[in-house]
Structure 1
Amino acid sequence: MEALRRVACLIFPEVMSLDVTGPMQVFASANVERQRQGLPPAYELSLLGKQSGPVATSAGLRLYTDRPWREIDPAQLDTLLVPGGQGVDAQRADASLLAWLHGAEPQVRRLGSVCSGALILAAAGVLDGRLATTHWADTDELRARYPAVQVQADRLHTYDPHNRVGDAHVFTSAGVTAGIDLALALVEADLGRALALAVARRLVMFLRRPGGQAQFSALLTPEPCRVPRLAALLDWIPAHLGDDLSLAALAEQACLAPRTLSRLFVQELGMGPGRYVERIRLEAARALLQDTQVSISTVARLAGFGHPENLRRTFHKHLAISPQEYAQRFG
């Protein structure tokens, strides 16, 4: 009989509950699917904490530690996951935990993180020299505080069982749902695509968003009170995506000199006018592809890209996916 793969996930006060329960449910569902096929379970799941007992998550819900991590021999674990959440800062200041993780890294077959859990792995030194990602809101901190880590912000996870564009041993994932994508990739590597597809279908999910796919997140227009000198222009742009939105045209609309307008965009939005317009057009194209059944050429025209090839290049640049693939997955 095939040995059970022991999958453990750390928990700690103020952990993000979905970072724990999402991936663990994928493994549990894999066991259920195997049971439906008359096969024994493939995974044995456990939660590890600083001590036994209940742990309050950031949602106020309580998870229960099965065993303290100090009592675990990492060599007995197949996969160890480190979640994120509001309690991450306290954990990466815990020298004993960091030492345990550093020692566990060469002993476990797979060591991974979900969301801001990457900051804990980075603090433990196990991401040095490795490709890593995390939640988009934490990528700048990961890059700044841990310069030895090769941060690749716009991807869902860095797991690759073939070690070609990621790592089969130590890997990271982006925010919350990307941890589920990561777990599906692990199940697929362990048990095959058919079983992983059955799990995804049972959970009503895609199988599977590639790890290299960009983190999809809407570009939200800032509140006018935060960008008072640009508020009127920012309200005007989405209604004129098919117009000339060059720097000169925007400057004329805002009654500002082009150099002044560029400076204000960088100061208040962290990007230049050209990049902002491109992102707004991209968001408009995404909305059209998600919510309507229109042709790619029509989307390109309505969103201000003109030619479909311009739309395709922009999708690949920002989302690492074509407009057609995006429409198939999210439409």
Structure 2
Amino acid sequence: MPQPTRTIACLLYPGVMSLDAVGPMQVFGSANAERAGHGLAPAYALRLLAEAAGPVTTSAGFALVADGSWAATDPASLDTVLVAGGDGVADQLGHAGMLQWLRHAEPRVRRLGSVCSGALLLAQAGLLDGLRATTHWCRVERMRRDYPGVQVDEDCLHTYDAAHPVYSHLFTSAGVTAGIDLALALVEADLGRPMALAVARRLVMFMRRPGGQAQFSALLAPETRHAPRLASLLEWIPTQLGSDLSLDALAERACMPPRTLTRVFQRELGTTPGRYVERVRVEAASALLAQAQASVATVARLCGFEHPENLRRSFHKHRAVSPQAYAQRFGTGALAD
């Protein structure tokens, strides 16, 4: 029997985070591409909806083009609606028209979800009361404060559960790239695990990321709040793990003398720059090893360890197991050395 085409719509607004929209939609588009390679029809029709059709300026400064207006769209024509997050979400919390459309859409679509801070719009619409929900880690405290009826889970990637009567219909995801994890879970529910695995391989991503949204921000979430002088540097470090993260390189990035940077790290974080970098590299290596799709040597190189033996020593220090043992315990299979 032919697979029905499902229409997936992502809601945009000025100041939307581009990756919140483009990331998940690319997952669905990649599923279509995989099917095309096997002579199958597209499984998804993709739409970007805004208050009015046309360009919508993202928080990055460039525009995404909405093909239609949510106000003029019958929710019954849509299978899944995703509400993107972004800096502009605060301006939409008082948008009565959008909130009413979301309330109207909820019982009429098969699935309604959010990416990143888009969860605030679902909460503002009253759709998350009594439900477990997540959002970007920097919005967690606001969500708890402003929406006490929501059960906020700050350390999960998404709340979608295909087997759950509620969370298969109404769900949220954590910060930014967690929306990609969510979309992959939706593809798995729709088209099966083999297709989701094929999409993950195509996009060079985890089929199912280990841990919660804290896996790369576990060190950042509390510390950027308590170390304001280091916040920018702490957010930059995980994006540069394969690069030179020596004390001199960090000091240059932070615009501080090396000795001053060391004192600031000790005072605000209770550790040295070198030890902090090692911990972040071990966090990243843990995520890669849990996927078990690369050798120890490859993981070491990607995470900035000069030699696999350096990774082994650091892993034993922070995890009390070898990289191979960690991969076998938490990963999807045996790991080549």
TM over 0.5: yes
Query: In the alignment, is the contact (CA less than 8 A) between 1:50 and 1:69 conserved in 2?
Result: yes
State the partner residue of 2:236: none
Query: In the alignment, is the contact (CA less than 8 A) between 2:56 and 2:64 conserved in 1?
Result: yes
State the partner residue of 2:72: 71
1:221-252 per-residue CA deviation (whole Å, 9 max, x = no partner) reads 63669999x847447734897xxxxxxxxxxx
Q: How does 1:272-287 map to 2 (within 5 A)?
A: 283=280, 285-286=282-283
Q: How does 1:149-168 map to 2 (within 5 A)?
A: 149-163=150-164, 167-168=167-168
> How far off its partner does 1:285 sit?
4.3
State the partner residue of 1:51: 52
State the partner residue of 1:170: 170
- In the alignment, the residues of structure 2 paired with residue 287 and residue 211 of structure 1 have an alpha-carbon distance, to the nearest angstrom, of 11
Report SS of the residue matched to 2:71: helix
- In the alignment, the residues of structure 2 paired with residue 50 and residue 167 of structure 1 have an alpha-carbon distance, to the nearest angstrom, of 27
State the partner residue of 2:204: 204
TM-score, normalising length: structure 1: 0.73
Unmatched 5+ stretches in structure 2: 232-259, 287-298
TM-score, normalising length: structure 2: 0.72
1:7-52 per-residue CA deviation (whole Å, 9 max, x = no partner) reads 0000111111111111001111111110111111100111111112
1:56-109 per-residue CA deviation (whole Å, 9 max, x = no partner) reads 111111111211111111122110000001110111110111011011111110
Q: How does 1:198-237 map to 2 (within 5 A)?
A: 198-209=198-209, 214-217=214-217, 219=219, 222=227, 231=264, 233-234=266-267, 237=271
Report SS of the residue matched to 1:35: helix
The alignment covers a number of residue pairs equal to 280
State the partner residue of 1:191: 191
Q: How does 1:246-257 map to 2 (within 5 A)?
A: none
| RMSD (CA atoms) | 3.6
> How far off its partner does 1:2 sit?
3.3
State the partner residue of 2:109: 108
Q: How does 1:291-310 map to 2 (within 5 A)?
A: 291=300, 292=305, 293-294=308-309, 298-299=313-314, 302-303=317-318, 308=321
Larger Rg: 1
- In the alignment, the residues of structure 1 paired with residue 34 and residue 281 of structure 2 have an alpha-carbon distance, to the nearest angstrom, of 39
* Aligned residue identity for 2:271: I
1:152-192 per-residue CA deviation (whole Å, 9 max, x = no partner) reads 0011111110118x811111111111111110100010001
**Structure 1 position 181 matched with structure 2 position 215:** no
- In the alignment, the residues of structure 1 paired with residue 94 and residue 175 of structure 2 have an alpha-carbon distance, to the nearest angstrom, of 22
Relative to structure 1, the CA distance from residue 198 to residue 308 in structure 2 (aligned partners, 3 Å threshold; closer, same or farther) is closer
Relative to structure 1, the CA distance from residue 117 to residue 213 in structure 2 (aligned partners, 3 Å threshold; closer, same or farther) is closer
